[in-house]
């Protein structure tokens, strides 16, 4: 098995020296630069939310001996999701220990998802079409939405699941089981996707030899066991309730579909339109990832079914692979004017891709106001830089990721906090803490008796605990 993987990697390295692969690499780098910059601007202008703060804090805390713990979760990240893939990030984060490195890594990983798309398109349609589909992938609006939605471990999904699907279709089963095991480390629910993908693989390779079928059955067994161990052993061991918190999430799928049916239909159109709906002509590959689709479409949360969140990352490889296989089938059936007919189809797909990017792409239509760094943002940065690392901070969602490199930060009011920092000019849904302070008389009373406001300008409010000795550096912001 190891020798087979070595030979496959050697083959990939040979391809990497080809002009086409060099162009692909440059496309990925361009994507990484653009999406990294937009992600960083979003962070610098205080539009990042809880998840970015959680992932940075768990890495920061792990480097200090607290195993993936976050004060925002009040437990280890492994109490929510079993994601050993996070260990890969630790050495990179240890080198820089800043938020931007996570955003750049995420953009590169999402961009690298173009590699399996290129490989399958080159195999089925030729090298130029490999580059064409890679370009469509990098222009894909749901990919941009996932990339800009803070930071999440499932950024690895398009690349690793894409390589799984590629090796499965190629009949390279030893490579498939290795990449399937890698996929399992992303998140516990990917086990279900690997199981359905492997079952589809058994049908797709129904005439394969017994030894290869054993490998596929072994993949199903490993995935099922990993899911069971994740849900009932690993995750409960790390969370405060001793059970998997999302076990009842899909208890009423019919209600979810009824409540969010129109939104889910719109979401499906937004997923398929950029490829001219060609994916539907290869339903088998879509069925291979059916558990990923079902998890989103029967979810009780509206956030699962929109392109501005990260959940689309599960679906992207299946949508692109099915489109490639569809075109391969359609082109094989053309008997006359092949070149003309191919050009028409390619032109239609390209128009759909560009139109989707212009009409609803998150880069042009972000779900937040235009982002740029203002003078108020700079003031916030200065205030934050003066808050000691060991201070306990209560703040609001969009400020969390700027304060996550500390032991305790939260977006709820803590009466033993050293600092309360608020920003009233933020997007309204970020006001969770601010709202609770305004409407809760008890909280108001505790703040008025236990804290003093030392800064209150341009919507920025800074409170410090009256008895605190940690905040001498903030005295320069005191307003009489």
Contact between 162 and 317 under an 8 Å Cβ cutoff? The reply is: yes
Contact between 117 and 132 under an 8 Å Cβ cutoff? The reply is: no
pLDDT in tens, 311-346: 999 999 999 999 999 999 999 888 777 788 899 999
Give the chain's mean pLDDT: 89
Token pair belonging to 463: 């409170």
pLDDT in tens, 403-446: 999 999 998 888 889 999 988 766 655 555 666 666 567 777 88
For 214, counting Cβ atoms within 10 Å of its Cβ (0-12 exposed, 13-18 middle, 19+ buried), the class is exposed
pLDDT in tens, 349-394: 999 999 999 999 999 998 776 678 888 889 999 999 989 888 999 9
- On the question of pLDDT at 237 being above 70, the answer is yes
pLDDT at residue 1 in the model? 54
- On the question of pLDDT at 250 being above 80, the answer is no
pLDDT at residue 34 in the model? 97
Closest to 143 measured CA to CA, from 131, 163, 159, 127: 159
- Phi/psi of residue 406, nearest 5 degrees: -160, 170
- Phi/psi of residue 162, nearest 5 degrees: -65, -45
User: From the DSSP assignment, how many helices (H) and strands (E) are in the chain?
Assistant: 21, 7
CA distance 238 to 436: 29
For 375, counting Cβ atoms within 10 Å of its Cβ (0-12 exposed, 13-18 middle, 19+ buried), the class is exposed
Give the percent of the chain with pLDDT over 70. 90
Largest Cα–Cα distance of the chain, in whole Å?
85
State the average pLDDT over residues 162-181. 96
CA distance 350 to 100: 33
pLDDT at residue 427 in the model? 63
pLDDT in tens, 58-117: 999 999 999 999 999 999 999 999 999 999 999 999 999 999 999 999 999 999 999 999
Q: What is the DSSP letter of 461?
A: E
- Compute CA 345 distance to the chain's CA centroid, rounded to the nearest angstrom: 31
* 56 Cβ neighbours under 8 A, 6+ residues apart: 93, 99, 102, 151, 401, 404, 405
pLDDT at residue 297 in the model? 85
Token pair belonging to 12: 């990939």
- On the question of pLDDT at 239 being above 50, the answer is yes
Q: Give the model's confidence band at 480: pLDDT under 50 very low, under 70 low, under 90 confident, else very high.
A: very low
pLDDT in tens, 440-468: 677 778 888 888 888 888 888 899 988 76
Higher pLDDT, 166 or 416: 166
- On the question of pLDDT at 299 being above 90, the answer is no
CA distance 317 to 313: 8
Helix (H) or strand (E) holding 75: strand 75-76
- Where does 67-207 have alpha helices with state H? 89-96, 99-112, 114-125, 127-138, 141-147, 157-170, 173-184, 190-204
pLDDT in tens, 38-72: 999 999 998 888 899 999 999 999 999 999 999 99
CA distance 29 to 398: 28
Distances in whole angstroms, Cα of residue 138 to Cα of each of 28, 60, 117, 248, 432:
8, 31, 10, 35, 35
Instruction: Give the HSE-up count for residue 11: Cα atoms under 13 Å, Cβ half-sphere.
Output: 9
Contact between 200 and 284 under an 8 Å Cβ cutoff? The reply is: yes
CA distance 49 to 395: 12
pLDDT at residue 336 in the model? 75
In this structure, of 6-20, 108-122, 158-172, 264-278, the range with the lowest mean pLDDT score is 6-20
- Where does 156-252 have alpha helices with state H? 157-170, 173-184, 190-204, 210-229, 235-238
State the average pLDDT over residues 212-240. 94
- On the question of pLDDT at 473 being above 80, the answer is no
Measured at the CA of 188, the angle between CA 62 and CA 265, to 5 degrees, comes to 120
- Compute CA 349 distance to the chain's CA centroid, rounded to the nearest angstrom: 26
The radius of gyration of the chain from alpha carbons, rounded to an integer in Å, stands at 24
Give the percent of the chain with pLDDT over 90. 64
């Amino acid at each position: 098995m190891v020798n087979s993987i070595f030979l496959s990697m050697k083959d990939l390295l040979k391809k990497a020296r080809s002009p086409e692969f060099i162009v692909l690499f440059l496309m990925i780098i361009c994507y990484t630069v653009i999406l990294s910059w937009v992600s960083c601007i979003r962070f610098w202008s205080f539009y990042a939310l809880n998840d970015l703060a959680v992932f940075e804090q768990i890495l920061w805390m792990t480097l200090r001996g607290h195993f993936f713990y976050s004060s925002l979760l009040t437990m280890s990240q492994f109490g929510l999701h079993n994601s050993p893939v996070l260990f890969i990030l630790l050495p990179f984060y240890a080198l820089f220990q800043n938020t931007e490195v996570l955003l750049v890594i995420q953009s590169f990983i999402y961009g690298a998802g173009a590699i399996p798309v290129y490989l399958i398109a080159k195999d089925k349609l030729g090298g130029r079409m490999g580059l064409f589909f890679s370009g469509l992938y990098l222009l894909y609006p749901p990919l941009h939405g996932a990339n800009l939605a803070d930071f999440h471990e499932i950024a690895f999904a398009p690349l690793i699941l894409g390589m799984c699907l590629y090796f499965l279709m190629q009949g390279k089963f030893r490579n498939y089981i290795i990449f399937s095991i890698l996929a399992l480390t992303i998140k516990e629910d990917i086990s279900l996707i690997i199981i359905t993908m492997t079952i589809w693989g058994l049908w797709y390779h129904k005439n394969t030899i017994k030894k290869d079928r054993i490998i596929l059955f072994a993949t199903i067994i490993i995935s099922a066991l990993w899911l069971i161990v994740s849900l009932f052993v690993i995750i409960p061991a790390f969370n405060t309730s001793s059970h998997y918190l999302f076990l009842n999430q899909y208890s009423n799928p019919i209600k979810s579909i009824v409540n969010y049916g129109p939104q889910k239909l719109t979401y499906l159109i937004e997923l398929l339109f950029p490829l001219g709906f060609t994916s539907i002509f290869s339903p088998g590959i879509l069925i291979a990832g059916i558990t990923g689709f079902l998890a989103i479409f029967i979810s009780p949360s509206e956030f699962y079914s929109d392109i501005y969140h990260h959940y689309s990352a599960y679906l992207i490889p299946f949508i692109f692979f099915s489109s490639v296989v569809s075109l391969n089938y359609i082109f094989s059936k053309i008997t006359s004017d092949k070149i003309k007919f191919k050009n028409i189809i390619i032109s239609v797909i390209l128009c759909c891709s560009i139109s989707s990017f212009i009409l609803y792409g998150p880069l042009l239509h972000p779900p937040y106001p235009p982002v740029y760094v203002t003078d108020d943002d700079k003031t916030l940065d200065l205030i934050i830089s003066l808050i000691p690392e060991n201070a306990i901070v209560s703040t609001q969602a969009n400020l969390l990721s700027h304060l996550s490199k500390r032991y305790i930060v939260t977006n709820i009011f803590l009466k033993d906090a050293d600092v309360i920092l608020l920003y009233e000019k933020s997007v309204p849904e970020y006001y969770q803490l601010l709202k609770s302070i305004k409407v809760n008389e008890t909280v108001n009373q505790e703040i008025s008796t236990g804290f003093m406001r030392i800064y209150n300008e341009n919507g920025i409010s800074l409170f410090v605990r009256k008895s605190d000795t940690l905040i001498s550096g903030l005295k320069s912001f005191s307003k009489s």
